[in-house]
């Protein structure tokens, strides 16, 4: 009986060592909430919004990627807010926003939430910036609501099928990812984030801490997994070809998450697209090369604005 007991004790010790409980929302709010943040009720969801810049200036809405939060845009937003109204939100189940009230994390549900936000803020036509899955939501929004979009900026956007992910099918989330809801050691998160940066030094301890803290928000990991399961890709070509808004594509040439080669598909499909690539940059140019990537963004949104 000694051997089974030893095995049981070792397993119990491993579970205890790796178990990563949620953090208290109040503690996270005390650390990350700013005076510029608001908590809105949108379609029954508690959503954090940061609305900065002159309220009568041209507006831009920024949509973060998977596992991120509105803080990811901070380097860009500080400069853009000097001349534009910049709206950033944590998507439901991300950052300091609560989980979706319905448990629905489909793109259709997200687009409805964006419309509700613009209506609540009494905003008509805006520019939209989106990264990764936020980029997919941005271009889908531009295709489905062209009357609401002035200019479109896509930062390494998601949307085309890839090995293991087909159009019209719900993806199968690996069981190993499902364990994330119970265990997420800091070292494990670092391993999953490192490939997103071409320069390993770009993932600083402070940046890792922010990702780690906010992914431990109440029910955040459950929501992230649900968003993956609710992602059903459609053939993007008809939607992309319908977009008439001027579009800027920003992409790190060493992107290991969504390859830079995918940019050619977007340039081919979008009627009014301009591509800017960044050498020695990975999946997050707005974090890894914020100054370099800000220049073409500012030129596109502000210096050449035709609002």
The CATH number that applies at residue 142 is: 3.40.50.1820
Q: What is the pLDDT averaged over residues 51-61?
A: 97
**Bridge partners of residue 41, in order along the sequence:** 46
27 in any annotated domain: yes
81 in any annotated domain: yes
At 165 the pLDDT is 75
At 231 the pLDDT is 87
7 in any annotated domain: no
At 180 the pLDDT is 80
**Residue 72: pLDDT above 90?**
yes
| Domain around 198 | 20-303
At 93 the pLDDT is 96
In 3D, which of 256, 253, 296, 250 has the Cα closest to residue 275?
A: 250
Is the dihedral angle over the CA atoms 206, 211, 212, 214 positive or is it negative?
positive
CA distances from 222 to 98, 181, 204 (A): 11, 6, 26
Mind listing the pLDDT tens digit for each residue in 232-290? 888 999 999 999 999 999 999 999 999 999 999 999 999 999 999 999 999 999 999 99
At 164 the pLDDT is 67
**Plot region of 44 (φ>0 → left; ψ -120 to 50 → alpha; else → beta):** left
In 3D, which of 153, 182, 165 has the Cα closest to residue 270?
A: 153
193 in any annotated domain: yes
In 3D, which of 263, 300, 298 has the Cα closest to residue 278?
A: 263
In the chain, the number of structural domains is 1
* Mean residue pLDDT across the chain: 91
8 in any annotated domain: no
247 token code pair: 């579009």
Q: What is the pLDDT averaged over residues 7-36?
A: 77
Strand order in the sheet with 247-252: 37-42, 45-52, 85-89, 59-63, 126-131, 149-155, 247-252, 273-278
268 token code pair: 């081919």
| Reported confidence tier of residue 5, pLDDT bands at 50, 70, 90 | very low
Q: What is the pLDDT averaged over residues 26-31?
A: 97
At 167 the pLDDT is 79
In 3D, which of 290, 250, 298 has the Cα closest to residue 153?
A: 250
**Residue 52: pLDDT above 60?**
yes
232 in any annotated domain: yes
* pLDDT > 90 fraction of the chain, expressed in percent and rounded: 81
Which residues fall within 8 angstroms of residue 300, CB to CB, at 6 or more apart?
151, 153, 246, 248, 274
At 36 the pLDDT is 94
29 in any annotated domain: yes
2 in any annotated domain: no
b/e map 289-305, b = 16+ CB within 10 Å: bbeebbebbbebbbeee
In DSSP notation, 147-183 reads GGEEEEEEES---S-BTTB-TTS-----HHHHGGGTB
| Reported confidence tier of residue 6, pLDDT bands at 50, 70, 90 | very low
- The structure's pTM equals 0.92
In 3D, which of 90, 99, 96 has the Cα closest to residue 44?
A: 99
**Residue 7: pLDDT above 60?**
no
Mind listing the pLDDT tens digit for each residue in 118-159? 999 999 999 999 999 999 999 999 999 999 999 999 999 999
């Amino acid at each position: 009986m000694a051997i089974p007991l030893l095995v049981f004790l070792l397993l119990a010790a491993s579970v205890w060592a790796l178990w990563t409980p949620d953090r208290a929302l109040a503690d996270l709010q005390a650390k990350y909430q700013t005076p510029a943040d608001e908590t809105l009720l949108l379609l029954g969801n508690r959503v954090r919004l940061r609305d900065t810049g002159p309220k009568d200036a041209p507006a831009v809405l920024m949509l973060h990627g998977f596992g991120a939060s509105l803080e990811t845009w901070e380097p860009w937003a500080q400069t853009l807010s000097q001349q534009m109204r910049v709206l950033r939100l944590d998507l439901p189940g991300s950052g300091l926003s609560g989980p979706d009230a319905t448990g629905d994390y489909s793109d259709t549900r997200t687009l409805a939430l964006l419309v509700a936000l613009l209506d609540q803020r009494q905003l008509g036509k805006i520019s939209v910036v989106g990264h990764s899955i936020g980029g997919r939501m941005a271009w889908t929004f531009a295709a489905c609501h062209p009357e609401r979009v002035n200019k479109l900026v896509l930062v390494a956007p998601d949307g085309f099928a890839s090995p293991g992910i087909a159009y019209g099918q719900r993806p199968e989330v690996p069981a190993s990812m499902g364990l994330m809801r119970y265990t997420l050691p800091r070292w494990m998160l670092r391993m999953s984030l490192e490939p997103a940066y071409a320069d390993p030094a770009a993932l600083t301890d402070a940046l890792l801490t922010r990702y780690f803290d906010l992914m431990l928000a109440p029910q955040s990991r459950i929501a992230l997994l649900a968003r993956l399961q609710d992602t059903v890709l459609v053939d993007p070509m008809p939607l992309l070809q319908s977009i008439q808004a001027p579009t800027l594509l920003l992409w790190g040439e060493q992107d290991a998450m969504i390859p830079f080669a995918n940019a050619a598909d977007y340039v081919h499909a979008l009627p009014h697209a301009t591509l800017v690539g960044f050498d020695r940059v990975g999946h997050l140019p707005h974090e890894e090369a914020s100054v370099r990537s800000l220049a073409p963004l500012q030129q596109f949104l502000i210096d050449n604005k035709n609002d």
